[in-house]
Amino acid sequence: MIKFFLKLFSFIKRDIIIWFSYRTQFILGFLSGFVGIIQFGLIGKFIAGGNYFPLIEKYGGDILAYFITGSVFMSYTNLALSTFKTSIQREQNMGTLEYFLLSETPFWQLFIFNFLSKFLFTTINIIIMFFALVWFFSVEINPNIFSALLVLIVVMLPLSGIGLLSAAMILITKRGDPIGWIYFTLSGLFSGIYYPIEIMPFPLRGVSYLLPTTYGMDLLRKTLLKGYDIIKIKEGLLIILTMGLIIAPLGIWLFNTNFNKARKDGTLTWY
């Protein structure tokens, strides 16, 4: 266990060194995220000035808070969908994948360490942005931090499964990930990220209920904005967990299948 956490610390340290080695990129990336959040804030404040949105009353009715939480959740969605495939692509591009496979660190630890490291930095960045925006625009929130964290942890299970499916495709296609692209696009359109799913035509709502992000977004807003506890969100958590128990094993199976195929064909390190 100690060895595991030492390796995790090494991955986090490596990412910190990489971040600060490219200071211009780091600063510009941070500023871009901050500017984007401010833009959402201005848009939301403008819209909220003279309109009433009954469809989001269940989240408190604040359009600005609705936009903020949508943006926050999409950051985590992108994290889960992209971390595994970018982990492979980075090792391939640097020519270190074969050496990594020969080391004592199992392949699954590469995924876990990269994911946890990026999850930590994403969370820190979002906390800073979130509370800065709440402070600047006086957004009223009533967060239940424990419930919100539990929602994020549980929803990462199905999303990580989809991320593994994306990584499996990268092992074969090398560039271009249809699974991740399709899911991210569907999430943006049908998961209620920037508008309630109730405004969509009824036949299209069926797509929403097939996406884990729909339930994750709903529960995150209820826990961050309305202070819902675990008892009030247990049904949604059960749905997400059930999806995760289906999608995650499927992602592991397809990744192992494509990994063994690429290794057999001698294309594992190609990019």
Q: Tokens 């936009």, residue?
A: 67
Domain extent, residue 188, equals: 2-265
Q: Is residue 271 part of a domain?
A: no
Q: Which residues contact 95 (CB under 8 A, 6 or more apart)?
A: 269
Write 34-42 long-range contacts (CB < 8 A, 24+).
34/129, 34/132, 36/71, 37/68, 37/71, 37/129, 37/132, 37/133, 38/133, 38/136, 40/64, 40/67, 40/68, 40/71, 41/67, 41/68, 41/133, 41/136, 41/137
Rounded distance, CA 255 to CA 38, Å? 39
Please give the pLDDT value at position 234. 93
Map residue 270 onto helix, strand or coil: coil
Q: What is the pLDDT of residue 116?
A: 83
Residue with tokens 């990462």: 156
Question: What type of residue is 61?
Answer: G
161 lies in some domain: yes
DSSP letter for each residue of 186-221: HHHHHS-SSS-GGGS-HHHHHHHTT-HHHHHHHHHH
| Burial (Cβ within 10 Å: 0-12, 13-18, ≥19) of residue 269 | middle
- Residues of the chain with pLDDT below 70 are 19-26, 28-30, 32-53, 91-103, 107, 173-176, 265-271
Residue 130 is predicted with a pLDDT of 74
- Backbone conformation region of residue 270, classed left if phi is above 0, alpha if psi is from -120 to 50, else beta: beta
Reference 68, options 44, 99, 101; nearest CA is 44
Task: For residue 68, tell me if it sits in a domain.
Answer: yes
Residue 257 counted as domain residue:
yes
Q: End-to-end distance of the chain based on CA atoms, in angstroms? A: 34
Say if 239 falls within a structural domain. Answer: yes
pLDDT tens digits, residue range 68-103?
888 888 888 888 888 877 777 776 666 666 666 666
Q: In whole angstroms, give the CA distance from residue 201 to residue 217.
A: 20
Task: Give the HSE-up count for residue 151: Cα atoms under 13 Å, Cβ half-sphere.
Answer: 32
Residue 133: inside a domain: yes
Give domain status of residue 18, yes or no.
Answer: yes
What pLDDT shows up at residue 65?
82
| Domain count along the chain | 1
**pLDDT value at position 26?**
64
Residue 270 lies in a domain: no
Joined together, the tokens standing for residue 34 give 């901050």
